[in-house]
Amino acid sequence: MAFKRYIPVESISELTINRLSVYLRCLDQLEQEGVLTVSSQELADRFHLNSAQIRKDLAYFGEFGIRGVGYNVAQLKEHLVNILGLNEERHALIVGAGNLGTALAHYSGFNTGGFRIVGILDNDPKRIGAQIPGGLVVEDVKFLPDIVKERNVHIGIITVPAAAAQKVFDALVEAGVQAVLNFAPTQLKGHPEVKLKNVDLKINLELLSFFLTQAGKLVPPA
């Protein structure tokens, strides 16, 4: 095997990782349909993806597929599950028990396939003690450090108002959380050792706006 220069995982873009999740959803669907093998071109045609991009994205993580045959659906799925770390259970803690935090606490997908919400916290005495659909009870945010340690929390989910988000982020980092999903619409000052992902729900509305605006138009080929 030829010598290879390796690059740090941190330099792989979030868009690449998001595409791995998209490929995983596609493979799930193919598996449900009983499809056993698929080429990058078939995968691309079927799900409106780019075959060269698929090959490039997967090449980051080793050699998959057999030339002329394609990928074994079950094997590629297992590879993606391993790459994304979905074979281990990740514990997540929600901070902010308003509408969004409450919705996420029982959102399908946040308690399946590798993830489990182990708590939901707030600082409002009117919310503390309330039972959330799904079974959790809102706890006092003052217990955040203990809860992170005792329940082995890997991921913090911030659903507090923008003005409180930095304080919550800092508290999560201080408590030892390694990754944070921020829904508060504000730019947080990050931490070099903690992966911070800001969720941008508006991007979906912009996608629809694009199609409403451009519907039926023609654009030059790339």
Site for a copy of itself in 128-187 (CB under 8 A): 154-155, 162, 178-181, 185
Residue 54 contacts a copy of itself per CB under 8 A: no
Residue 126 contacts a copy of itself per CB under 8 A: no
CB of 104 to a copy of itself, least distance (A): 7
Select from 34-42, 118-126, 139-147, 194-202 the region that touches a copy of itself (CB under 8 A): 194-202
Residue 4 contacts a copy of itself per CB under 8 A: yes
What is the rounded CA–CA span in Å between residue 87 and residue 27?
16
Q: How many residues bind a copy of itself (CB under 8 A)?
A: 82
Contact 159, 100 (CB under 8 A): yes
Q: Which of 141/157 has CB closer to a copy of itself?
A: 157
What is the rounded CA–CA span in Å between residue 66 and residue 145?
49
What are the backbone angles phi and psi of residue 120, rounded to the nearest 5°?
Answer: -140, 125
CB of 123 to a copy of itself, least distance (A): 18
Contact 39, 70 (CB under 8 A): yes
Contact 126, 101 (CB under 8 A): no
